[in-house]
Amino acid sequence: MTTSSVLAGLDRVRGWQEEFYRDLHAHPELSHQERRTAQRVTQRLRHAGYELHEGIGGTGVVGVLSNGTGPTVLLRADMDALPVREDTGLPYASTVTAADAEGDQVPVAHACGHDVHVSCLLGAAQLLADDRDAWHGTVVALFQPAEETGDGARGMLDDGLAERIPTPDVALAQHVLPAPAGHVGTLAGPVLSAADSMRITVHGRGAHGSMPQAAVDPVVLASMIVIRLQTIVSREIPPGQTAVLTVGSLRAGRKSNVIPDRAVLELNVRTYSDTTRDGILEAIRRIVTAECQASGCPRDPEFELFDRFPLTSNDPDVTARVAGAFGEFFGDRAGPLEQQTASEDFSDIPTALGVPYTYWGIGGIDAKTYQRAQEAGRVSQDIPVNHSPGFAPVIQPTLDTGTQALLAAALAWLAR
């Protein structure tokens, strides 16, 4: 079978791929600062014979490899790291610090495993370039900046991505997860939540703490709002649907005997359908505006949306095709993926290009370690999750599996 001829080449790339991964892991870069990573990606893609598009949306890199007529498959990897101090004890652990967007010096680590995604996609890109007799069509290998800030994909689109690359027939992406390494999981439909953060400023009237009659107290108002917002999920969302609304920050006043003139609330919403999302955001505005009116606020409240991530909802046909390819290649190491509460901006790209997509998970935890934790009922205590200081996938079989998954999925469209 042609798929296996491409995959058989894995032994040739494994050496440099592991070295590339360790180097990337030790040199993580924050969102929008992925300059060294992009440069290293560019070098490898050029070496593999890809046509290069650099600096898209800042540090984004796209390699295109045309190999006759046939489908066009977009494969995406994200490149950025997080302001986390790595605590893995690995010989290639990061000790890097960098200035963040606010100018503060922060520790930086690949605590989300995007170094895995980059290394796997480069390996897959090389193997496809090495065995052009086995497939036909076009491969678009897309390396995206700033996934963690939710604006990297949009940045590439705003910078003319659609005009600079061939329009794909399908878009594919993956994420390493706290699951047994060697395993892959797929799920049709909503797989990752949409996320929206909102900053709400309510305006009261300040006064002496002993003279409440002269004030419109924003502390009482904000408290009412926090409680009333809890009724959105419990009273307005159908019981069969899932949503989360968390008020994570509430700030008002500085002194016990001063009624302040404003309060600022910051909240986060997670949803699995656009209807639910729109409904919740609308309900928040309605409740806050009405509570402000009820309190007699001198000014209307202000709403500001930020850190927004789209819903990731896998196309059923594309997912079935990929799941079939995984079942054939991985056997019982392929299975269903649970719906995740995390969010991603990958889907912004296929949505803007008008193409179907699927997004799957690969395990990154040593299978025996995971099994021991599972038997002891201690998975949530003992297995570090993405974004935690202890999260670092085992190099193998994680890199092999991620590379094989990309190839098996891409070849489901491209194989001769």
* Binding footprint of Zn ion on the chain (CB under 5 A): 112
Comparing CB distances to Zn ion, the nearer of 76 and 277 is 76
Q: Which is nearer to Zn ion, 180 or 393 (CB)?
A: 393
CA dihedral for 231, 236, 241, 247, sign (positive or negative): negative
Shortest distance, CB of residue 400 to Zn ion, whole angstroms?
20
**Closer to Zn ion by Cβ: residue 112 or 334:** 112
Alpha-carbon distance values, 56 to 32, 146, 151, 175, 404 (Å): 11, 12, 13, 22, 27
Closest residue to Zn ion, Cβ-based? 112
Distance in Å, CB of 391 to Zn ion, minimum: 10
Least separation in angstroms between residue 195's CB and Zn ion is: 11
Closest CA to 20 of 44, 52, 2, 56: 44
Relative to beta strand 334-336, strand 184-186 is parallel
**Minimum distance from residue 110 beta carbon to Zn ion (Å):** 10
Q: How far apart are CA 136 and CA 35, in angstroms?
A: 32
| CA R_g for the chain | 24
Give the Cβ contact number of residue 301 at 10 Å. Answer: 20
Output the six-digit token pair for 221: 């108002």
Strands 105-107 and 189-192: unpaired
Estimate to the nearest angstrom the gap between the alpha carbon of 103 and the chain centroid: 24
How far is residue 342's CA from residue 44's CA, in Å, rounded to a whole number?
30
| Cβ closest to Zn ion, residue 112 vs residue 337 | 112
Between strands 189-192 and 72-78, the pairing is unpaired
Shorter beta-carbon distance to Zn ion: residue 112 or 221: 112
Q: Measured from the CB of residue 176, what is the shortest distance to Zn ion in angstroms?
A: 8
Question: Helix/strand/coil (H, E, C) string of 51-114?
Answer: EEEEEECCCEEEEEEEECCCCEEEEEEECCEECCCCCCCCCCCCCCEEECCCCCEEECECCCCH
> What one-letter code names the amino acid at 160?
G
Burial class (CB in 10 A: 0-12, 13-18, 19+), 397: buried
CB of residue 247 vs Zn ion: minimum separation in angstroms?
A: 22
Least distance (Å) from Zn ion to the CB of residue 364?
11
Question: How many CB atoms within 10 Å of residue 222?
Answer: 25
Q: Which is nearer to Zn ion, 112 or 198 (CB)?
A: 112
- In whole angstroms, how close is the CB of 389 to Zn ion at the nearest point? 13
Dihedral sign, Cα of residue 25, residue 26, residue 31, residue 36: negative
CA distance 206 to 219: 11
Q: How far is the CB of 95 from Zn ion (least distance, A)?
A: 20
Please compute, for residue 201, the number of CA atoms within 13 A of its CA located in the half-sphere on the CB side. 9
- Return the number of the residue (120 or 215) whose C-beta is nearest Zn ion: 120
Q: To the nearest whole angstrom, how small is the minimum distance from the Cβ of residue 148 to Zn ion? A: 5
Which one, 50 or 309, has the nearer CB to Zn ion?
309
Q: Which is nearer to Zn ion, 45 or 112 (CB)?
A: 112
Cβ distance to Zn ion smaller for residue 127 or 349:
349
